[in-house]
Structure 1
């Protein structure tokens, strides 16, 4: 995988909206193929970005890739990652057949309370994910293992055999673990274990009071910290702001209520402490790219397919 420093300013960037193949897995993965002889940068070589992290795998051919910081030519077996909202653009680099796998995922949705302490290691707020591309270039074993895990996710998403969600979830966790254990970035300024222990009372308070109004001042009084120190410290430890974390927990609880109960959408909103319906819809769509009603309908249709898939097996 050749890498050349990029140059030139960014022009207009298209913000792409991703529609998930399974709303509960928060991902989209598919194969792209180009067998035309035309190659080279198109006349209008546009930039795009999206909230989801993107992994790009090259199965055949060569692909030119440009980001804000570098220009790369990918070859068969190569893998690249683009962080959340990182502008990038690609083109067919050579005349032979081009086949690639595009894997877009909202990584933060795959962290639960037990793994949340590692979220900051994958947060664009603190440590851009583009740094992992240097790891893929320098460590062939890591690149091959990451490639195999993403291919496994793709194959499971295509087969949709019963339990494919479990297989995909496990592969995603293994991918995160692979990157975490081979991450050579300097995190010496962070003391994760001490930090998590210190904010643990705040996390517990949030879980117990999701149905109520939660303020920074309430949590500051529990931890005996000043307002400004707490919001900076929380973001440093968790890799996400206090407000975004609370909203994340509210929406995750709302998803469970929508899937497991018969509450109205308004009642669900109240149960998770959001009394403004417009705000609830806005937050839910930000996390799921669909409304609460669409989410419930999609998941009911997904559930209806499970018996048919089981019979097919």
Structure 2
């Protein structure tokens, strides 16, 4: 499973609602199997995203997968993870049978008081979950173990033997432990997420007012906290400062507007509450290593799939 860095058009995204098979486990896992004499992206090759984290396995055949950054060809035994609300789309890469397992879950629901200190290690604010795909590519043993754990979850969900909930919960914990112990990124600047519930009203306020001027004082009044206490507490809980968090959310909204609409770059900047174009360009480049114009052109360029298919023949 090697990524091919040729991102394609990201012009329309369907927000998928995930209906849990077991509401108490906060997950959905199922098998997709079909056979087609043709391969390649369909004419209506659409993007989708969902609030749940997704693990995707290929048990048979070949699957083309595109994310915001990469185009990857998955083969039997491969596994990929997509973070919450991360757009992605797939297509049959080679003719013949294709069998895949799709596993979607609300990750934060599987942390309790004893494991809460590790929740920040899976925070997508500062460390996107897609980075774990590099672990799978670089360490075949880890990839195989992760694949086996997800297959166990699928088999338990199908058999529903007595205690299957315990078996699934244990497998999810083992999957998180596997990723945690094989993730060598620097987390020295990130703190635990145990106070997230207390700052949740502030996060909701920010989401609702991104297109407006947001001041620390406004958010302090929502939580009824003093200015200095809020600033320190927010950074302790979230791992980044209040200003950096607001800017992060604004740039993420800007990305989506650039990809899904026909607004000019100036209009996008105004829509996300940044009225200074120089500041918008600076913040955008800090998060994406390119200008908004370059980002839009890169994401809307076509994927050259034909050579990939020729290699597979």
For the 8 Å contact 1:63–1:73, the answer to whether it is kept is: yes
C-alpha change, 1:64 and 1:8, in structure 2 (3 Å) is: closer
C-alpha change, 1:41 and 1:217, in structure 2 (3 Å) is: same
Map of 1:81 onto structure 2: 81
Map of 2:61 onto structure 1: 61
Map of 1:300 onto structure 2: none
RMSD: 2.3
Distance 1:8 1:163 in 2: 44
Relative contact order higher in (CA < 8 Å, ≥ 6 apart): 2
For the 8 Å contact 2:61–2:94, the answer to whether it is kept is: yes
Q: Deviations over 1:194-250 (max 9, x none)?
A: x97xx79x89xxxxxxxxxx97446x69xxx5222222322118xxx9xxxxxxxxx
Distance 1:191 1:49 in 2: 28
For the 8 Å contact 2:7–2:67, the answer to whether it is kept is: no
For the 8 Å contact 1:6–1:67, the answer to whether it is kept is: no
Map of 1:52 onto structure 2: 52
Distance 1:181 1:68 in 2: 26
1:156 aligns with 2:143: no
Map of 2:232 onto structure 1: 229
Distance 1:39 1:7 in 2: 19
Distance 2:139 2:111 in 1: 26
Distance 2:175 2:99 in 1: 22
Distance 2:2 2:115 in 1: 35
For the 8 Å contact 1:53–1:84, the answer to whether it is kept is: yes
CA shift, 1:124, in A, is 1.2
State the TM-score, normalizing by the size of structure 1: 0.66
For the 8 Å contact 1:121–1:180, the answer to whether it is kept is: yes
Q: Which 4+ residue blocks in structure 1 deviate beyond 6 angstroms?
A: none
C-alpha change, 1:126 and 1:165, in structure 2 (3 Å) is: same
Give structure 1 stretches of 5+ with no counterpart.
204-213, 242-313
CA shift, 1:94, in A, is 0.3
Q: Deviations over 1:1-31 (max 9, x none)?
A: 1211133441010000000000000000000
For the 8 Å contact 1:16–1:49, the answer to whether it is kept is: yes
Distance 1:188 1:6 in 2: 33
Distance 1:5 1:184 in 2: 23
Give structure 2 stretches of 5+ with no counterpart.
200-220, 246-313
Distance 1:109 1:92 in 2: 32
DSSP 3-state at the match of 1:97 = strand
1:101 aligns with 2:101: yes
State the TM-score, normalizing by the size of structure 2: 0.66
CA shift, 1:190, in A, is 3.3
DSSP 3-state at the match of 2:51 = coil
Q: How does 1:38-49 map to 2 (within 5 A)?
A: 38-49=38-49
